[in-house]
Structure 1
Amino acid sequence: MAHQSLSITSLGFQGDGISAEGIFVPLTLPGEVVQADVHKDRADLLDIITASPDRTDPVCRHFSRCGGCALQHWEINAYSAWKRDLVISLLSKAGLETQIDPILTTPPHSRRRVGLHAKRINGPKGAFRVELGFKMRKSWDQVRIEECPVADPRIVAALPSLTELAKALFEHPKSAPILNVTVSETGLDIDIRGVERSKSGGLSADGRMQIAMTASAADFARVTLSDEIQYMARAPQVRFGRAIVDLPFGPFLQASPKSEADMVRLVTQAVAGAKKVADLFCGSGTFTFPLAEQAVVYAADGAAGAVGALKSAMGRVSGLKTITAEVRDLYRRPMLAAEMNGFDAIVFDPPRAGAEDQAREIALSAVKRVVAVSCNPQTFIRDVRILTEAGFSLDKVTPIDQFLWSGHVELVGVLSR
């Protein structure tokens, strides 16, 4: 360990400053001179000797300790420009020169789903209390959260009730509960993971009663534990286009309604005029239902619960073109090139691993338009290069800043041939 004065020249992909010597220093900005404790290629910030003119006061009291946000100390326009430049650099290095549209950023106080870690803190004579929070920076410990300028205010307001709910989850000494909280149209949906099963197979009757009483008093929509309903006053629902969809257990849902709306607009504009569209990795219908306002849609996803929710919602909405939905593991059984005959466009929005095999089938098909939605620029580049090498042109890419003040960036790419 050594104290050093370091000049920060750039930022890494996770938002940590990088010195001229290649040392990563969190919570610093380009152009700053800082004093730091250096440990090989990483350092802890001690003091800022020369601050960047773009440095600003963080909006959250937990910033710098909480691992959720990395860049609250950076003026928003400079921060957004860095994210867009990051996309330009990554695509350029991969030989993908294209139009990069302005970044679309989600506002504060709008994230509708968070994962809260519950921690038991023991007191005298078997008494204990529970704290809810997020993981600390570079640590397995956690920060107790009292505010969160990223999250929907309804989640923050529910923290006392969620803390009370978590007290029932520590019957097994190895339990490490995570409360995945989603804001739905009908109230909060809480999906609990990380609770070890007791010899009896689950929570005691007292534990289940405590959850039900707390959830009822807080007017939560639903509480599930390992895909089993512990309490439900009403089905948690979201709106996709004209459809109202009941959320499956532990659903995938875009974190920000603003970012979801931006993605839907970009996707539907890109395939305008198409009469038949495939929506691959469709989830519960984020793109399926808006697409069906203008085209016949084939929707496929490996998550049976998500596809089941999509199918149920199909029966409750009118005025759409035909939707055919299928549970299909697109990693083991991608949609084949031959199956794409007659389709005018393909939309695919895979998990972080991307969709390499599916991209290869699209490349072999006669489809003329493709929209690639991605939460991982590296796998996006890999999959898109498969398409461009098969004759597609990458017409444009739009960066989406769905996870505000983080190093994370999402992409919507439009391809044609």
Structure 2
Amino acid sequence: MRTSRRPNRARPADVATSPAVEVVIEAVGGEGDGIAAGPLYAPFTLPGERVRLAAGGQRRELEAVLEASPQRVTPPCQHFGVCGGCALQHWEHGAYLEWKVDRLVRTLARERIETQVLPAFAAAPASRRRLSLHARPGRKDAARLGFKGRKSWDVIDIAECPIADPRLEAALPALRRLAVPLFEHSKSAPTLHVTLTDTGIDVDISGVERKSGGLSADARMRLAEIAGEADFARVTLDGEIAYLARQPTVRMGQATVALPAGGFLQAVPEAELAMANMAVEAAAGAERIADLFCGAGAFTFHLAKLAPVLAVDSSAPAIRSLIGALGTAPGLHGVVAEARDLTRRPVLAAELKRIDTVLFDPPRAGAYEQCVEIASSKVSRVIGVSCNPATFVRDARLLADAGFTLDRLLPVDQFLWSPHIELVAVFNR
């Protein structure tokens, strides 16, 4: 007779199954948590530290640092440890940056890729020009506004943000007032995507409940009044203009670009310039260039000083902004711009036959479909820009198998005190 047995069920890793414990942290993992034997994972710990961890499973909370690392520093933000925005403010900057670069090199090594790694670009505090701030109901005249808390959907109402440009930090009280009219419907959970532009602060709001008709006329009027009082440049609701005092613009190379509502922009201007300078140096001598996933032209306007550029992006508003800015940039060799989904419709190898240099700067999912076409083309030089090393190494392996050599790579740390790192890489064949 066959007997039935209850199947074994693994316990969730974070259920409290073991008592508090003292451990030595051996390394820092990919999410910024310290790792001890077991393995056990704990936030806000550093290699070599002896710490006491709370009861739990594999992932524990830090109860006390018993022997601190000499690399431990005082976090600059009063919200650190509660706010979920930063993970590594407690780590001395040089060691923290070395850890980020080492992780990048290890990611490349998994695909057997070696290259010259240049000294990393490191963004400074108070340099970030865009923030995504969550809003929740608060006082009658000011919403709660900030980032989600650690392991929580709750919003930490921030009083400061040391990564942000001081002009964004100074705008927090006005942004709290701006969020108040957004809560007509109980299901609204607004996010204010705030960008500092050359002509003022631009705010694109998402997460306002729309099934019930969206904001009333009274709420829209109040939104515009508060924006005017704060002297914001523009406020949009999912791209729809709710208030416009002046067009938000940014400089890209020598061009003045009208920023699309909710459009993508590199987080730190100095990081964008460092990446553009790397691309220009790598593209020297090019005869025809393709700038793929070009956005509104962060690289296009620099590269077009060297040679004619084919600029392609899936965002039609970004392409319109790029085309509209061409007349503001003197000395360009010519730009042809096209709105096109490069995942579903990559630029084919046959279309690249007159192109000798390609730059791609895709979203986090990478550029695999486009790299298939580049690999089978006659392109001799590729400049890869990536915000996700994991998808970059997949695409780099494809190029390497097609005869490209990864000559050099610039790590870019523009998301300060996070585990996130970006890069610019130069391939030749």
Work out whether the TM-score is over 0.5: yes
Is 1:343 matched with 2:360? no
In the alignment, the residues of structure 1 paired with residue 114 and residue 289 of structure 2 have an alpha-carbon distance, to the nearest angstrom, of: 27
CA distance in 1, matches of 2:186, 2:153: 18
Partner of 2:188: 175
Unaligned runs of 5+ in 1: none
SS at match of 1:286: coil
Structure 2 residue aligned with 1:154:
167
The reply on whether 1:31 has 2:69 as its aligned counterpart is no
CA apart distance, 1:141: 1.0
Paired with 1:227 and 1:260, the residues of 2 have a C-alpha distance of 24
CA contact (8 A) 1:120 1:128 kept: no
Mapping for residues 8-407 of structure 1, pairs under 5 Å: 8-121=25-138, 129-197=142-210, 199=212, 201-407=213-419
The letter of the residue matching 1:102 is: P
* Cα distance in 1 for residues equivalent to 2:361 and 2:55: 40
SS at match of 2:60: strand
The normalised TM-score by structure 1 is 0.97
- The answer to whether the 8 A contact 1:363-1:390 is kept is yes
Partner of 1:85, secondary structure, is helix
Question: Deviation of residue 409 (structure 1)?
Answer: 0.3
SS in 1 for 2:273: helix
- Given that 1:243 and 1:314 are in contact with CA atoms closer than 8 Å, whether structure 2 keeps it comes out as yes
Are 1:172 and 1:198, in contact at CA under 8 Å, matched by a contact in 2?
Answer: no
Aligned-pair CA distance for 1:253: 0.4
Say what the alpha-carbon RMSD is for the aligned residues.
Answer: 1.1
Moved over 2 A (4+): 315-318
How many residues are matched?
A: 412
Provide the identity percentage.
53
- 1:31 match: secondary structure: coil
Counterpart CA distance in 1 for 2:211 and 2:222 is: 17
2-structure distance, mates of 1:245, 1:130 = 32
- Aligned partners of 1:331 and 1:232: how far apart in 2? 34
CA displacement, residues 289-309 of structure 1 (integer Å, 9 cap, x when unaligned)? 010111100000001111111
Map Cα deviations across residues 32-76 of structure 1 (whole Å, 9 max, x no partner): 111011422100000001100000000000001111111100011
Task: Using the TM superposition, give the Cα deviation of residue 348 of structure 1 relative to its aligned residue in structure 2, in angstroms.
Answer: 0.1
CA contact (8 A) 1:84 1:102 kept: no
Q: Which moved more, 1:135-144 or 1:276-285?
A: 135-144
For normalisation by structure 2, the TM-score amounts to 0.94
Residues 278 and 297 in structure 1, CA contact (< 8 A), matched pair in contact too: yes
Task: Output the CA distance in 1 between the equivalents of 2:399 and 2:226.
Answer: 52
Whether the 8 Å contact between 2:348 and 2:373 is mirrored in structure 1 is: yes
Where do 5+ consecutive residues of structure 2 fail to align? 1-15
Q: Matched residues in 1 for 2:101 and 2:328: separation? A: 40
- Deviation of 1:342 after TM superposition, in Å, equals 1.6
Task: Summarize deviations over 1:389-408 as a string: whole Å, max 9, x none.
Answer: 01000101111001001000
Contact 2:20/2:56 (<8 A) preserved: no
